[in-house]
């Protein structure tokens, strides 16, 4: 049985996320996967109840099965979030008069502090044996830009030449939900980016507006960046060895040096302050470390 034929509301919801909310392809796939899994369960176990007839007991039954399959709490929480968004939309367009998610409680997660690179190790990372060819120069500049701006991987990959404002010393970034934000950069980074673009235009014959491309002119792919960032972080003492750790480092170092929390929120492009507050914990840990080392009664 075709899920979309049985539950056409799913496609309508996915279209809403895609065209109105402007969610990324990755996010859309995540929503679709979770919701299809739930609706498939209803079809097989409860003979395809209508959207209006889906009660909290049916949802709890599915969640119970997920727990029996030993699905981790983080994944269950994500699936509950997808269901909440789905039924909120059904409520909005009048398909249901009440969402069945009101009494559904998400599992609590153990909060992990974001992994970051110590300030003393940043210079080692950015100045450590890069080749002088296009690949080496690109890798070095990518790392520098990640740390200097805190931008996301998708934002860096899609960065265009016209998003760099050399006069006003900033980069305009298009983040999640197609939201734009301005990130300040210094003169040195502007100079490096200008040189990189000039060299790209000179040596790569394909006309491409992306700032970061391969030696053949193709835009860099996530797997390319993951690979060389992971390799570069092998000798750095940090738990997470991915591009995102540089974003964490950007935010943590700002907080450790007295930056305003709201300012860091805007620089990171977070939609809520709660997402940025995880970096205050690292600041507190830093203060504890300083206290233990410096105070005679610590």
Tokens of 129: 């044996």
What single DSSP character describes residue 171? E
Of 170, 172, 244, 281, the catalytic one is 244
Residues 6+ apart with CB under 8 A from 251: 114, 116, 150, 264, 267, 268, 276, 279
Tokens of 297: 């009664």
A 10 A CB-CB count for 262 gives 10
Of 7, 31, 147, 279, the catalytic one is 279
Is 23 among the residues known to form the active site? no
Sheet holding 180-184, edge to edge: 164-165, 170-174, 180-184
Of 18, 60, 78, 176, the catalytic one is 176
Tokens of 291: 């206290």
Would you give the distance in Å from CA 131 to the centre of its chain?
29
Of 247, 248, 253, 265, the catalytic one is 247
Between the alpha carbon of residue 143 and those of residues 15, 108, 162, 243, the distances in Å are 36, 34, 20, 8
Tokens of 283: 């600041």
Query: By three-state DSSP, how is residue 132 classified?
Result: coil
A 10 A CB-CB count for 228 gives 18
Is 26 among the residues known to form the active site? no
CA–CA separation, 159 and 114 (whole Å):
25
Is 281 among the residues known to form the active site? no
Would you give the distance in Å from CA 109 to the centre of its chain?
18
Is 270 among the residues known to form the active site? yes
CA–CA separation, 147 and 6 (whole Å):
48
Of 137, 270, 281, 286, the catalytic one is 270
Q: Give first-to-last CA distance, the chain, whole Å.
A: 66
Of 152, 200, 232, 248, the catalytic one is 152
Report, as residue numbers or ranges, the catalytic residues.
152, 176, 244, 247, 270, 279
């Amino acid at each position: 049985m075709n899920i979309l034929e049985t539950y056409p509301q799913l496609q309508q919801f996915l279209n809403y996320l895609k065209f109105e909310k402007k969610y990324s392809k990755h996010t859309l796939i995540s929503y679709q996967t979770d919701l299809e899994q739930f609706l498939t369960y209803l079809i097989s176990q409860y003979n395809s109840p209508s959207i209006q007839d889906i009660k909290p007991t049916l949802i709890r039954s599915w969640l119970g099965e997920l727990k029996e399959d030993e699905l981790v709490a983080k994944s269950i929480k994500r699936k509950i979030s997808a269901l909440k968004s789905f039924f909120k939309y059904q409520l909005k367009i009048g398909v249901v008069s009440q969402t069945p998610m009101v009494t559904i409680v998400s599992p609590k997660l153990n909060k992990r502090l974001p992994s970051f690179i110590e300030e003393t190790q940043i210079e080692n990372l950015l100045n450590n044996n890069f080749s002088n060819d296009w690949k080496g120069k690109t890798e070095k500049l990518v790392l520098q830009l990640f740390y200097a701006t805190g931008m996301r991987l998708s934002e860096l990959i899609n960065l265009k030449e016209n998003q760099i404002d050399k006069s006003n010393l900033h980069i305009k970034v298009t983040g999640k939900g197609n939201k734009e934000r301005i990130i300040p950069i210094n003169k040195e980074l502007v100079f490096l980016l200008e040189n990189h673009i000039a060299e790209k235009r000179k040596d790569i014959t394909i006309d491409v507006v992306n700032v970061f491309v391969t030696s053949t002119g193709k835009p860099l792919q996530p797997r390319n960046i993951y690979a060389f960032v992971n390799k570069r972080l092998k000798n750095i003492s940090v738990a997470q060895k991915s591009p995102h750790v540089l974003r964490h480092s950007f935010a943590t170092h700002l907080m450790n040096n007295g930056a305003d929390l709201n300012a860091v929120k805007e620089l990171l492009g977070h939609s809520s302050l709660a997402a940025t507050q995880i970096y205050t914990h690292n600041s507190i840990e830093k203060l504890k470390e300083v206290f233990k080392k410096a105070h005679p009664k610590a």
